[in-house]
Amino acid sequence: MKNLLLIILTLSFFILSSCEQQGKTKKAKPKAKKAVVVPAFNADSAYAFVQRQVDFGPRVPGTPAHQACANWLAEKLQVYGDTVIIQAFRARTYDMVARNGKNLVASFSPEKKKRVLLLSHWDSRPFADHDPDPAKHRTPIDAANDGASGVGILLEMARQFHLRQPDVGVDIVLFDLEDWGPPTDLNMYKEEYWGLGAQYWSKNPHVYGYTATFGILLDMVGAKDAVFPKEYYSRQYARYVVDLVWYTALKLGYGSTFLNQDGGGATDDHVFVNRIANIPTIDIIHLDTESANHSFFEHWHTTSDNMDQIDKKTLGIVGEVLMSVVYNED
């Protein structure tokens, strides 16, 4: 009996040890990461969206071209988005004139709490105040790169979201009255003269209490051989978002476009989104230290900012990077 009892106890010990070891093995097994399918970004489609905006002519608030483009943008967003809001507002420009603006908002999976914010401005500057010809300094510009390029990329992303939604909720906001700052020759710079649509939305978001994990602003993202160093205010307010986007670009082979170097600061829409809405937001913007045009894109605020400057390759690079960032966010 003692021998039998000893055998039973011994077997029980080995069985318990085996079960315990199996339990430990199961607990130690790492959770497999879900494979992420990132839809291909169509640069031809993005280019066509840029072209369509420019075809309306300068989208200066208060003009027929501005109204026609607003209608077209709203129609496209309503096709792709789950919820679309047209946020009409009034704001005073530097000359103390109250002007009408329209921010356009498209939400994807609005029921999801975790959200990513994608931004651009869709209006065009009424003054070509950096044109080489002084006679054109009060001429409205086509703004193919400074405005339309970012919108074109976001419209193509919206089309892709409609076909295959990412795991996170996404809000695309197109700001108006971004570029009606005072002409350079008036020497009356003030941050608040710029980004009027962004200031309004940041104080009055389309959803009460709205927040997002992070935001990404696109500005001048379509020129040939464009380079994007890490913009100053982006580093100050949202360094981890800068690191995420630039590391994604590096992994995709675009380190020569998204430069691993610090760039200057731009008083752009993201500054107000950071300060007022308190959403960590970065600016992907073409900064060029070799440009004679104040370190921005060579044709910034000139009449030559037209479709001749837009490059499908650049649109494709920026679009691919952003698609990867959004679809890998969970």
Q: What is the pLDDT along the chain (330 residues), one digit of tens a residue?
A: 444 444 444 444 444 454 444 544 455 555 556 778 999 999 999 999 999 999 999 999 999 999 999 999 999 999 999 999 999 999 999 999 999 999 999 999 999 999 999 999 999 999 999 999 999 999 999 999 999 999 999 999 999 999 999 999 999 999 999 999 999 999 999 999 999 999 999 999 999 999 999 999 999 999 999 999 999 999 999 999 999 999 999 999 999 999 999 999 999 999 999 999 999 999 999 998 666 556 788 999 999 999 999 999 999 999 999 999 999 998
What confidence score (pLDDT) does residue 241 get?
A: 98
Amino acid at 10: T
Q: At what angle do helices 312-327 and 232-251 cross, to 10 degrees?
A: 90
98-108, strands of its sheet edge to edge: 83-92, 98-108, 169-175, 115-121, 214-219, 281-285
Count CA atoms closer than 13 A to 302's CA, side-chain side.
18
Retrieve residue 50's tokens.
């840029």
Alpha carbons 237 and 257: distance in angstroms, whole number: 22
Alpha carbons 287 and 330: distance in angstroms, whole number: 31
Cα of first residue to Cα of last residue in the chain, in angstroms, is 61
Q: What is the pLDDT of residues 206-250, one digit of tens each?
A: 999 999 999 999 999 999 999 999 999 999 999 999 999 999 999
Residues 6+ apart with CB under 8 A from 60: 66, 123, 124, 125, 126, 140
Output the pTM of the full model: 0.90
What confidence score (pLDDT) does residue 16 get?
A: 45
Q: Which CATH architecture has domain 38-327?
A: 3-Layer(aba) Sandwich (3.40)
Among 92, 100, 104, 103, residue whose Cα is nearest residue 61: 100
- How do 115-121 and 281-285 pair as beta strands? unpaired
